[in-house]
Amino acid sequence: MSDVATQAGEILDRLGVADPFVGDGDLVARSPIDGSEIGRLRSHTPEEAAHAIGRAHAAFERWRTVPAPVRGQFVRELGELLREHKEDLGALVSIEAGKIVSEGLGEVQEMIDICDLAIGLSRQLHGLSIASERPGHRMMEQWHPLGVVGVISAFNFPVAVWSWNAALAFVCGDAVVWKPSEKTVLTALGCQALVLEAGRRAGVPDGLSAVLVGDRTVGEVLVDDPRVPLVSATGSTRMGRQIAPRVAARLGRTLLELGGNNAAVVAPSADLDLTVRGVVFSAVGTAGQRCTSLRRVIVHESVKDELVSRLAAAYATLPIGSPLEPSTLVGPLIDEAAFRAFDEALARARADGGELVTGGTRAAVDGGGFYVRPAIVDMPAQTEIVRAETFAPLLYVLTYGDLDEALALHNEVAQGLSSSIFTLDVREAETFLSVVGSDCGIANVNIGPSGAEIGGAFGGEKETGGGRESGSDAWRAYMRRATNTVNYSRELPLAQGVEFG
């Protein structure tokens, strides 16, 4: 057994996960740090998945009658357990997803933050009082629990995205059935152990939270089951195109967080010191494997040479290696398939006339794993490969002459998740944020496109799917709306002045 596997086993034990490994399991858990096998797990059968959904539905029928502030106490217990186990769960994220230490811990902090938000929300699930045109009538709307929420998550945020959904769903009165990525099952089991302990302390119904282990056949059960009124899915646009029509066919709801092809416009007035820091973090953090990673820099021709030179110098200093080392800033790609996609995208960019500025090769790191040197490619135009999302640290540089041209390049791609502009010109900044500016769900000024806070709604438009998670009024996706009219008069006037009899 490798050192990484031993460490993972010890962490799972401290999190309260009973030994999940079986010698003849069909699902292999590996660490991208060195490619080693951590253990083998047994996938759930479709029948077991359906049974878990049934238990969750039964739990929902009890949970929905619990007052929302009391439901908030359950999430409070979960938040406290996450604080207690932050170091362990963060380390498990690093071991299984390859995130550097600070990002693994940061992901758990996101979970804690959303629990805090949800606790407050449990006392603020507000409806509206609405003016009625009929005398002696009161009209209002209420928000009621929805049912079982299915969550399908990706490897790159193996625990935070689940928590964005689960914390809100729990206080809204819903049950949650989670299908994590096959690449990051252990972190899901760790979270489930903490949820079960929080549930024991708070006295929640059995089955309120469940984890389904397996491949897409298990996920398809969740997608197709009519007892799951909402499926929240995070992943590729290709995956979303498969899930959305299946859920729609049974008239269910989807909350989709799909691909991104995020850009930063760098204007002539940009503070280049700040810009370089923002670009580097957004482009190479998590080894470019965030949905909000910076893929394109659209830089004004007057500052292009200086910006590219400074970016190349910064890239040359990036420590690449095991994410468990505190000094590392760039960890591994998740697997060999990700490395091949990186390599193929670089080849296509070169074939399209792109000039490799720096990086683009495999980095020599002891112990195996797929580590690469983050690449910058100067492109003559926004070609097909630039418009595609490559889940790796690959940054394309495009040049513009005026802001209209920059916005046209920015909005030309099919995805619409996150965006940014670096400028000290208030007119440029406000134009970028206006209706004729960025067409993304997230638009930032003088920070990169990644690193969203819990308080704002997270999500994007176009092929990103249109879903919103986390803060603002994203909680409404997990509830159903009822409009109520109460007649407290002795008459029965009809709306719109209709007379009958």
Tokens of 324: 């468990």
DSSP for 372-413, written as a single string: B--EEEE-SS--HHHHS--SSSEEEEEEESSHHHHHHHHHTS
Question: Which helix (DSSP H) or strand (DSSP E) does residue 219 occupy?
Answer: helix 216-224
What secondary structure letter does DSSP report for 497? Answer: G
Residue 244's alpha-carbon distances to 153, 234, 248, 256, 257, in angstroms, are 15, 12, 6, 8, 11
Q: Are 53 and 225 in contact (CB under 8 A)?
A: yes
Rounded Cα–Cα distance for residues 432 and 426 (Å) = 10
Question: Tokens representing 164?
Answer: 């964005």
Rounded Cα distance, 29 and 11, in Å: 15
Q: Is 256 exposed, middle or buried (0-12, 13-18, 19+ CB in 10 A)?
A: buried
Structure tokens at 400: 């513009």
Strand intervals (E) in 159-293: 175-179, 209-211, 230-234, 253-257, 262-266
Query: What count of Cα atoms within 13 Å lies in the side-chain half-sphere of residue 19?
Result: 7
- Cα dihedral sign for 268, 272, 274, 280? positive
Tokens of 169: 């769903």
SS3 percent helix, strand, coil of the chain, rounded to 5, is 40, 20, 35
- Residues sharing a CB contact under 8 Å with residue 283, sequence separation 6 or more, in sequence order: 293, 294, 295, 374, 393, 395, 448
Between CA 469 and CA 484 the distance in angstroms is 27
Spell out the residues 6+ positions from residue 286 whose beta carbon is closer than 8 angstroms to its own. 99, 103, 156, 293, 331
What single DSSP character describes residue 131?
-
Residues 294 and 134: their CA atoms lie apart, in Å, by: 54
Exactly one of 103, 107, 182, 257 is catalytic; name it: 257
Q: Are 439 and 284 in contact (CB under 8 A)?
A: no
Phi, psi at 176, each rounded to 5°: -135, 130
Classify residue 372 by its DSSP letter: B
In DSSP terms, 397 is beta-bridged to 297, 378
To the query of whether residue 384 is one of the catalytic residues in this protein, the response is no
CA-based nearest residue to 376, from 323, 309, 427 = 309
**Distance of alpha carbon 82 from the chain centroid:** 19
Distance of CA 481 to the CA centre of its chain: 25
Residue positions annotated with a catalytic role: 257
